Amino acid sequence: MSKILVIEDEEDIRTIVVEILRAENFDVIEAENGEIGVELAKNELPGLIICDIKMPKLDGYGVMIQLRENPSTQTIPLIFLTAKSMKSDLRMGMELGADDYLTKPFTRDELLGAVTTRLAKQMAVEQESQKKVDELRNNITHSLPHELRTPLNGILNLAQFLIEDYDTIERNEALEMLQEICVSGERLYRLTHNFLLYAELARIEQQPKQVRKLLNSGEQSFTRTIIQDLAIQISQKVNRKEDLQLELQEAVVKISQSKFTKIVEEIIDNALKFSELGNSIQIQSYFQDNYFNILVIDHGRGMTPTQIAKLGAYMQFDRQLYEQQGSGLGLIIAKLLTELHGGELNINSFPGKQTIVHVMLPGKLSI
């Protein structure tokens, strides 16, 4: 059965609620005040929280605010217990994100009805989320052979040609083929790395304790040099350094250098891949309200709202028309890395005109 956390400062009421739930075979943990309740919620990650509003030290609203600010607890459903029935109290709780109310005194049936309803809704949400993950993995499984086969075929065919015509091939022609083999090898390496990285991130996403470990790792990165160096390096590979427009503010983000580098690499690469030579790529960064912001703006073909909503690791929209190489995995990896570190990645696009990828990560100004 689901684990339920009961936060109630009145011992007699807490005992009654706990006994009713345990009689129905629920796994119940309890806390006598809001501060203890928040810590238990973070450590135990219950499937449902029942919380009194009026408590010493930290009231129910304070509990709600702290839970919603923490990525590992922000989606746990919460039922408020209250002796109040004023509309202002109900409205305040709902605005903070409460899922339901029980007004004291309540009956056993009212308590169990509220609990079973919330748990059923939460299970439906989780099942839908798992369905999307399964669909995503299934599509990746289908796309993986093709994406790996293309560079691998290039390597094998060119290598075979070099072996067969070793005695007659011109030196310059051989060098060109070796360079193409190197490019295909690099592409194959990146594809393999991205597929393995996605699988690891998807696994971590389903394990709240691993998410909490990432959030509390204490790793930090300075941003400006990483963004600037990557932008120049990636754009030079496709002869588009002149298209870059950089406006960067230094800041420190709460993420390791390697993971921050990966996020930046993928969103810049995406902008260059889906826009034409001569069209500007604007990269801006700034710090605001405890978050570091980076915007990558390109003026390529863009995406429709439907395409953005369906963005997945396996999708490359209009591939038959544009034939860009790649698995389409980059943006979803950047999004997962960002969200696993307490941030957000949003896309705003106007088809045929402009796409803006906006990443926000917790951080601080560089001293």
CA distance 296 to 104: 52
Return the H-helix or E-strand segment holding 121. Answer: helix 108-164
Q: Which residues pair with 139 in a beta bridge?
A: none
- What's the CATH code of the domain at 155? 1.10.287.130
pLDDT for residue 316: 45
Q: What is the pLDDT of residues 264-299, one digit of tens each?
A: 999 999 899 888 999 999 999 999 999 999 999 999
28 and 61 co-located in one domain: yes
362 and 263 co-located in one domain: yes
76 and 189 co-located in one domain: no
Which range of 62-71, 82-91, 94-103, 212-221 scores highest in mean pLDDT? It is 62-71
Produce one character per residue of 349-358: b if its CB has 16 or more CB atoms within 10 Å, e if not. Answer: beeeebbbbb
pLDDT band at 211, cuts 50/70/90?
confident
Say if 100 falls within a structural domain. yes
Say if 165 falls within a structural domain. yes
Question: Structure pTM?
Answer: 0.59
297 and 356 Cβ atoms separated by less than 8 Å: yes
- The percentage of the chain sitting over the pLDDT mark of 90, rounded to a whole number, equals 45
Domain containing 21 equals 3-106
SS3 label, residue 6:
strand
SS3 label, residue 205:
helix
Pick 108 or 127 by higher pLDDT.
Answer: 108
- Mean per-residue pLDDT for 17-37? 93
Say if 303 falls within a structural domain. yes
CA distance 92 to 66: 15
Q: What is the pLDDT of residues 136-170, one digit of tens each?
A: 666 666 666 666 778 888 899 999 989 988 888 88
241 and 331 co-located in one domain: yes
Q: Please tell me the total count of domains within the chain.
A: 3
pLDDT for residue 318: 43
Tally the C-alpha atoms within 13 A of residue 355's C-alpha that lie toward its C-beta. Answer: 25
Say if 19 falls within a structural domain. yes
pLDDT for residue 213: 74
Out of 163, 185, 206, a domain closes at: 206
217 and 343 co-located in one domain: yes
Q: What is the pLDDT of residues 182-203, one digit of tens each?
A: 988 988 888 888 888 887 887 7
pLDDT band at 314, cuts 50/70/90?
very low
pLDDT for residue 102: 85
CA 62 from centroid of its chain's CA atoms: 26
Q: Is the pLDDT of residue 13 over 60?
A: yes
346 and 251 co-located in one domain: yes
> Which three-class secondary structure string do you get for 228-247?
HHHHHHHHHHCCCHHHEEEE
Q: Is the pLDDT of residue 319 over 50?
A: no
- Widest pairwise Cα distance in the chain: 94
194 and 236 co-located in one domain: no
Say if 40 falls within a structural domain. yes
pLDDT for residue 322: 37
Say if 29 falls within a structural domain. yes
Mean pLDDT taken over the chain: 84
29 and 46 co-located in one domain: yes
215 and 197 co-located in one domain: no
Say if 125 falls within a structural domain. no
